[in-house]
Structure 1
Amino acid sequence: MAKYVARIAWALRDGEDFAKGRYSRGHVVSFDGGLIMPASASPHVVGKWAVEEAVDPEEMFVAALSNCHMLTFLHKARLAGFVCTAYEDDAEGIMEEIAPGRMAVTKVWLKPKITWQGDEPTAEVLSDLHHQAHEECFIANSVKTEVVVG
C-alpha cells in the first residue's frame, strides 16, 4: 500500500471578516517532495475572494486525471512497441449542479496530442491504448466523473 500526503495551510489575514465571509480563500498546498503551490477556491465559486493566479481544486482535479492518464498511456504505448516523443493535453472539465445546492465536476475531456518516432499506431490501436490507460489510471478509477478521451 502506498501513502500520499499533502499539507493545506490557510490563515485569516488582518482586516478580513470571517463571520461575514469577507476573507481570502488563498492558501498553500505543500507536497512531500518540497513543492509549495499557491492555491485558492475557484473565482467561479467565490468571486473576488479567490486568488486568480492560484490553482483551484477543480483545476487540480482535471490536471490529476490528465496527468495520470498520460503517465499510464506512455507506459502502455511503450509496452506496445511505440515511441512517444511528446504528449500534450489541453484537458477541460465542467462543473454542474447535480442536485439542489450540490455541485460536481461531472465530465472531463482529455484532448491528447501525441508525437511519435517511427511507426505510429493506427486509429484503432491508439483508441485501444487510451482505453487501456483509462482502465488502469489510478485517478480515473477513484472518481465517478465521466472521463472522455478525444
Structure 2
Amino acid sequence: MAAHGAIVEWKRGDQPFVDKRYSRAHLWTFDGGEVVRGSSSPSGVPVPLSDPTAVDPEEAMVASVSSCHMLWFLALAAHADLVVDSYRDAASGELDRNEAGRKYLARITLRPVTAFSGRQPDQAELDALHHEAHERCEMANSVRAVITTEATIG
C-alpha cells in the first residue's frame, strides 16, 4: 500500500507558553512541496491565538472527504461516458459530542453541483454515481462521521 504523509510544524519563537496564550498557527508541508498555513479553529480558540485565515483541522477533514469523493465521481462519470464541465461542492461539517463527552466531527454534508456537456444524467443516475463514489472514497471509509450527499446538476 502507498504511504502518504505531511510534515506539521509549529515553533514557539519568543512567545510565552505555559500561560496558554501562544499562537496555534503552524505549517503543513505536503510531500509534493505544497505548504499550507494551519491553525486551530477560531470557534475553539479565540483570535489572535488562532489564525482565521488558516485552515483548521476540521475544515481540512471536510475538504479531504469532499476532494476524495469528487475524484471518484469524476472517474466514474468518465467511465459512464458523461462529460463533466464543472463540479463545485459547498461541503460542511458539524461537530458533536461522543459518548465520553468529547467533540468529534459527527456529520459531513457534501453538496456537489455538477454541469455536464452532451448527455445529461437523470437524478437517479446522478445519485447512483455519487453513491458509488462514496463507497469507493478512501477518506469516507476512514471516518466515522455520517456523510450525506445532496447532489444537483447545475
Pairwise TM-score range, normalised by the shorter structure: over 0.9
The TM-score, its normalising length taken from structure 2, stands at 0.94
The TM-score, its normalising length taken from structure 1, stands at 0.96
Partner of 1:145: 145
What amino acid does structure 2 have at the position aligned with 1:25? R
Partner of 1:56: 56
Report the 3-state secondary structure (helix = DSSP H, G, I; strand = E; otherwise coil) of the residue aligned with 1:20: coil
The number of residues matched between the two structures is 149
Structure 1 distance, partners of 2:138, 2:144, is 12
Structure 1 distance, partners of 2:59, 2:122, is 32
Structure 1 distance, partners of 2:135, 2:101, is 31
Identity of aligned residues (%): 40
Partner of 1:87: 87
What amino acid does structure 2 have at the position aligned with 1:32? D
C-alpha contact 1:13 1:23 (8 A) present in aligned 2: no
What amino acid does structure 2 have at the position aligned with 1:58? E
What amino acid does structure 2 have at the position aligned with 1:111? R
Q: CA offsets per residue over residues 44-73 of structure 1, 9 Å max, x none?
A: 111121011100000000000000000000
Partner of 2:23: 24
Structure 1 outlier segments of 4+, above 6 Å: none
Report the 3-state secondary structure (helix = DSSP H, G, I; strand = E; otherwise coil) of the residue aligned with 1:135: helix
Does 2:131 match 1:126?
no
Structure 1 distance, partners of 2:80, 2:10, is 46
Report the 3-state secondary structure (helix = DSSP H, G, I; strand = E; otherwise coil) of the residue aligned with 1:45: coil
Report the 3-state secondary structure (helix = DSSP H, G, I; strand = E; otherwise coil) of the residue aligned with 1:19: coil
Q: Which has the higher helix share?
A: 1
5+ residue gaps, structure 1: none
TM-superposed CA distance for 1:139, in Å, is 0.4
What amino acid does structure 2 have at the position aligned with 1:45? G
C-alpha contact 1:8 1:30 (8 A) present in aligned 2: yes
C-alpha contact 1:95 1:106 (8 A) present in aligned 2: yes
Q: CA offsets per residue over residues 108-132 of structure 1, 9 Å max, x none?
A: 1100010100011111111100000
